[in-house]
Structure 1
Amino acid sequence: MTTTDASAAAASTGAAQAVDTAVRAAAASGLERTSRAERAGWLRAIADALEAHRDELVALAHDETHLSEARLTGEVTRTATQLRFFAGVIEEGSYLEAALDSPDASLVPPRPDLRRMLRPIGVVAVFAASNFPFAFSVLGNDTASALAAGDPVVVKAHPGHPELSRRVAAIAREALAAAGGPVDALVLVGSEGGASGMETGVELVRHPLVRAVGFTGSTRGGRALFDLAVSRPDPIPFYGELGSINPVVVTPAAAAEDATGLAEGLAGSFTRDGGQYCTKPGLVFVPAGTGFEAALVAAAGEAPAQRLLTAGMTAAFAAGVGELGARDDVEVLVAGTTDAPGDSASTVVATSAAAFLAAPEAFQTEHFGPLTLVVRYDDAAPGGDLDRALAVLEGSLTGTVRHAAADGAALADDAELVERATAALSRVAGRVLYNGWPTGVAIAWAQHHGGSWPASTASVHTSVGATAIRRFLAPVAYQDAPQQVLPAELRDGNPAGVPRRVDGVLQA
């Protein structure tokens, strides 16, 4: 064995040992045996501690990610809000889906006493995201919803902000200890013992005590880990949020009504924080021959350049821009320039609906950075080139319709096209919005942040909003169980006070 081989083997062994220690500590934390009220209190304690260290954490995040301090300050607030939101979700209790059926010997077959609810599944592995160093990272939505469910979490830190990850984890664990909670309910692993981040991640997904995985990242990395999760001797669910281009349909009436306002809004959305949003509008269908493109060129040309999160992302963005711009069927409308080495500038390219239809896969590759692709369509009538292009869309987190806003004939003429666009986008996107821009995901009970592949690996679930907790729970039915062994939420008299469905009737 060469020295290089020996070093690699030692690093792999180190990663396996570190992951094993972390997972076993989390599994022994006892979080699944705690009450909803206890966990709600601990989530709020962690949120308070996060905000108490805001200035320190924002400075650290700014140094590692190059994101603005204003953006990061707001993200700390969002992260604390998520933690408190899930505290409220578990206190309300309907997430448990508690259901009771009374015994009935007259039925065929006879029905016993049945009581069912959702229970924690065990240790959850969470892979932190690069582009949201707080809100989708150590204490992000995956972690918050898993802890709320009663599942201990082992977080794989992102290499783009390792020091921040360590500090956030330490603050959370200190808050748990101070509030009387199980400290090992949250454990962090990184690039252990010289191992690469991927090696550590592989060991985490493989660990036999890990029961589910939450992932936010690239399609390539997510697919590799997804394949690993489902090929284990005991396959586990892998909830991955991956690539998304978030198509936008601009109707002819909308373009005629306010082309300049639309262009300015699009430019602000796709260049926001360097275009490093999973919800960035990267594909925009626009009627040909309007003033929209000229307005977009003007607006995008004024957008400031941005240093991306990592050197690898910067290189990948430049390569993607170069490849797309070199195509014969693509016109480069804005080729952003910058005097600062390492920065990425806004880019706008355009093609025709016919070219898009000829090579839909090539035009639906996500370019993580400040780029958007304009697709010009000529025929908005049923069965026209716009309809045909929408029919070949891949999965995305969002789809947007920009339609006429004013009352009157323009809005009436738009209605049928809006209905067709809605149907097409609803087929592939988890959230469809109107006369807005998708770079913003509210924390709410009705929110859905997911979509068909490649936007996510499980389109029936969300990673934002109350039902994100459903990913980390499993149903258990108790048949003819003695009262003392039942969870409080299923006992006679409903001592836990949760919403329940009793003999088919929902009781608040």
Structure 2
Amino acid sequence: MPILGELLIGRTARPGQNGTFQAIDAASAQALVPVFGGASLDDLDQACALAAQAFDHYRATTPAQRAALLDAIASNLLALGDALIQRCMSETGLPRARLEGERGRTVSQLGLFAQVLREGSYLDCRIDPAQPLRQPLPKVDLRLRNIPLGPVAVFGASNFPLAFSVAGGDSASALAAGCPVIVKAHSAHPGTSELVGRAIQQAVRDCDLPEGVFSLLFDSGRSIGQGLVADPRIKAVGFTGSRSGGVALMQIAANRHEPIPVYAEMSAINPVILLPSALAERASSIADSFIASLTLGAGQFCTNPGLILAIDSPTLRQFELAASARLQAVPAQTMLTPGICQSYRAGVVAWRERGDVQLLAEGDSGSEQQARAALFVTSAQTFLAQPALREEVFGACSLIVRCKDLSELQQVIHALEGQLTIALHLSAADHQQASHLLPLLERKAGRILVNGFGTGVEVGHAMVHGGPFPATSDSRTTSVGSLAIQRFLRPVSYQDLPDALLPPELQQANPLNLPRRLNGELRS
């Protein structure tokens, strides 16, 4: 399938006329063909109009019909074959194995939401039958189901060009919910985005669905992304990216005549807490696993372990020596874009120039387009006094904080902002300390894990990929796993409607064979 540099608006494909840009080969910094044109405000208006027109038809499709769409998208993605992987490698600098794994995850996410649709409990159907003879007052008939919010804007992510972009989790969960999707592609991997977008466009056509179910827009600046969130036909937003970008979209959405939810995943440093007995037993092996996690994908994971917390001791110093030795052997890695690489280097330089932070080790040097991993250490008192040290340096950079005792460790945790993950490394002898920390950790993170690292997010039913601000804009939600569909649904209650007027999900005969809650009791 050729890459033509075109916008995909409903069934049409055409070049954008609002400025131009090109993808950059991450390894060589050379421009890639073709030239892409940015969407105009007229293009945006047409995409939103088509989405609004498609909504009532699309939301009325059965769960099985929407599951078939997701299956068709997955099949089309696989049919793109090596062309997708090759283009993605060029645009992102990510290795083949990583991208083949990410494609597999993207297909699995689509399959998960197809499974969710066929199972049906996401609708949360509830029936409280009427009791006309109840005293002192009769009880009305009440029935409830979840319905889709409306057209959704999805912003592609730089660091996951497949799993968090055009056909990623936000798009999959919104389409599953019954919401048309307009994707604003990330400018760093437009060729990848176009290939995936065409796969979705074809699936919509093959499933005989309204053309407005999906559109893909490119933006040569910021006007289209901002205009998309501001458009009154858009009813929710999915975003993965920087804190500043997410907050800007939240403000636009909040200032609308009709405010809408923005589900933004933004910034986290994902603390790792090393408890004393675990350090005494396996400091070196924890150090090996830590460096492997830190440098995975050049550290460009939202769950990258950017902070190590531990009580100062000889075993902590042993961990530092082992981690430093391991890090020095790690080669420099190509980052997603030259701009991201420059920002990472600037962040490392800023820490190196601080008198209250010590550089422990750096990875091997590389080319102009590559970045060296870095490991720093400081005291808890410095960390508490300097809020800048709690900010994310996006890339393979981490800070060890030496605490005097458990009380100071707790102070450091209290000072943290919201996180996607917090990891505890412990042994049986550490359980009492861990039990004291857990209530505090629950207030700080969306996922707490033991003897591991947050990199590697399982796509399943019990996963939470979210957390308190600024990890996400809404700590009640997740962007990974089956619960992600709830972001794009809202409940509606029906009182005393005749059976013939009820949606099929709530009719007495249960024609869709859905699990439903009758008088509070779940029945299938």
TM-score, scaled relative to structure 1: 0.93
Aligned pair partner of 1:82 in 109, 112, 120: 109
Does residue 1:221 correspond to 2:245, yes or no? yes
CA distance in 2 between partners of 1:108 and 1:91 (Å): 42
Q: Work out which of the residue numbers 119, 126, 151 in structure 2 matches 1:92.
A: 119
Q: Map 1:8-407 onto structure 2 (within 5 A).
A: 15-29=40-54, 30-105=57-132, 106=134, 110-191=138-219, 195-196=220-221, 198-288=222-312, 289-290=314-315, 291-359=318-386, 361-380=387-406, 384-404=407-427
Cα contact 1:54–1:76 (8 A) shared by 2: no
Task: Give how far 1:256 is off.
Answer: 0.8
Judge which range, 265-274 or 96-105, deviates more.
96-105
Q: Cα offset for 1:421?
A: 2.6
Distance 2:135 2:279 in 1: 62
Deviation (angstroms), 1:233: 0.8
Counterpart Cα distance in 2 of 1:43 and 1:264: 39
Per the alignment, residue 517 of structure 2 pairs with: 501
Query: Which of 433, 446, 458 is residue 462 of structure 2 equivalent to?
Result: 446
Number of aligned residues:
485
Q: Distance in 2 between matches of 1:104 and 1:184?
A: 44
- Structure 2 length as normaliser, TM-score? 0.90
In structure 2, stretches of 5+ residues that fail to align are 1-16, 20-36
Contact 1:255–1:287 (Cα < 8 Å) also in 2: no
Label 1:10 to 1:143 Cα distance change in 2 as closer, same or farther (>3 A).
closer
Query: Residue 253 and residue 227 in structure 1: after superposition, are their counterparts in 2 closer, same or farther (change >3 A)?
Result: same
Q: Report the Cα distance in structure 2 between the residues aligned to 1:258 and 1:375, rounded to whole angstroms.
A: 19
CA contact (8 A) 2:332 2:366 kept: no
| Distance change in 2, residues 1:10/1:371 (3 Å) | closer
Q: Which 10-residue stretch deviates more, 486-495 or 55-64? A: 486-495
Give the drift of 1:378. 2.5
Q: Per-residue deviation at 1:108?
A: 6.1
Tell me the secondary structure at the aligned position of residue 146 of structure 2: strand
Offset, 1:88: 0.4
Q: Does 1:482 align with 2:506?
A: no
Give 2:432's match in structure 1, choosing from 416, 419, 435. 416
Deviation at 1:176, TM superposition (A): 2.5
Using the TM superposition, give the Cα deviation of residue 339 of structure 1 relative to its aligned residue in structure 2, in angstroms. Answer: 3.1
- Quick one: distance in 2 between partners of 1:136 and 1:108? 55
Letter paired with 1:200: I
What CA deviation, in whole Å up to 9, does each residue of 1:447-478 have, x standing for no partner?
11100000000000110111100010111111
Residues 143 and 153 of structure 1 are in contact (CA less than 8 Å); yes or no, is this contact kept in structure 2? yes
Give the partner amino acid of 1:52. Answer: A
**Offset, 1:52:** 1.6
| Residue aligned with 2:322, SS | helix
Distance 1:35 1:337, change over 3 A: same
CA distance in 1, matches of 2:101, 2:408: 41
Q: Is the 8 A contact 2:129 2:141 kept in 1?
A: yes
Q: Is the 8 A contact 1:249 1:421 kept in 2?
A: no
1:243-301 Cα distance to aligned partner (Å, 9 max, x none): 01101100111111111110010000011010000000101113323210000001111
Which amino acid in the other structure matches residue 503 of structure 2?
P
Structure 1 residue 354: deviation in Å? 1.6
* C-alpha displacement of 1:350: 0.5
Question: Does the Cα contact within 8 Å between 1:285 and 1:377 map onto a contact in 2?
Answer: yes
Contact 1:336 1:346 in 2 (8 A): yes
Unaligned runs of 5+ in 1: 1-8, 405-410
Shift of 1:42: 1.1
1:500–1:507: 8 Å Cα contact kept in structure 2? yes
Say if 1:401 and 1:422, in contact at 8 Å, map to a contact too.
no
Q: Distance in 2 between matches of 1:104 and 1:53?
A: 57
Q: How many angstroms apart in 2 are the aligned matches of 1:165 and 1:84? A: 20
Q: CA RMSD in A?
A: 1.7
- 2:327/2:362 contact within 8 Å kept: no
Q: Which amino acid aligns with 2:41?
A: A
Q: 1:72 to 1:14 in 2, by over 3 A?
A: closer
Q: CA separation of 1:64/1:329 partners in 2, compared to 1, >3 Å: closer, same or farther?
A: same
Greater CA drift, 131-140 or 477-486: 477-486
Q: C-alpha distance in 2, partners of 1:38/1:10?
A: 36
Q: Which moved more, 1:350-359 or 1:209-218?
A: 350-359
Q: Which amino acid aligns with 2:65?
A: E
Residue by residue over 1:135-160, the C-alpha shift from the partner in whole angstroms, topping out at 9 and shown as x without a partner, is 00000000000000110000000011
* Residue equivalent to 1:467: 483
Query: What is the rounded CA distance, in whole Å, between the counterparts of 1:13 and 1:77 in structure 2?
Result: 30
Contact 1:247 1:284 (C-alpha < 8 Å) held by counterparts: yes
Distance change (3 Å), C-alpha of 1:51 and 1:10:
closer
The answer on whether the counterparts of 1:396 and 1:429 sit within 8 Å (CA) in structure 2 is yes
Counterpart of 1:4?
none
**Secondary structure at 1:391 match in 2:** helix
**In percent, how many aligned pairs have the same letter?**
42
Report the residue type matching 1:399 in the other structure. Answer: I
Deviation, structure 1 residue 185: 1.2
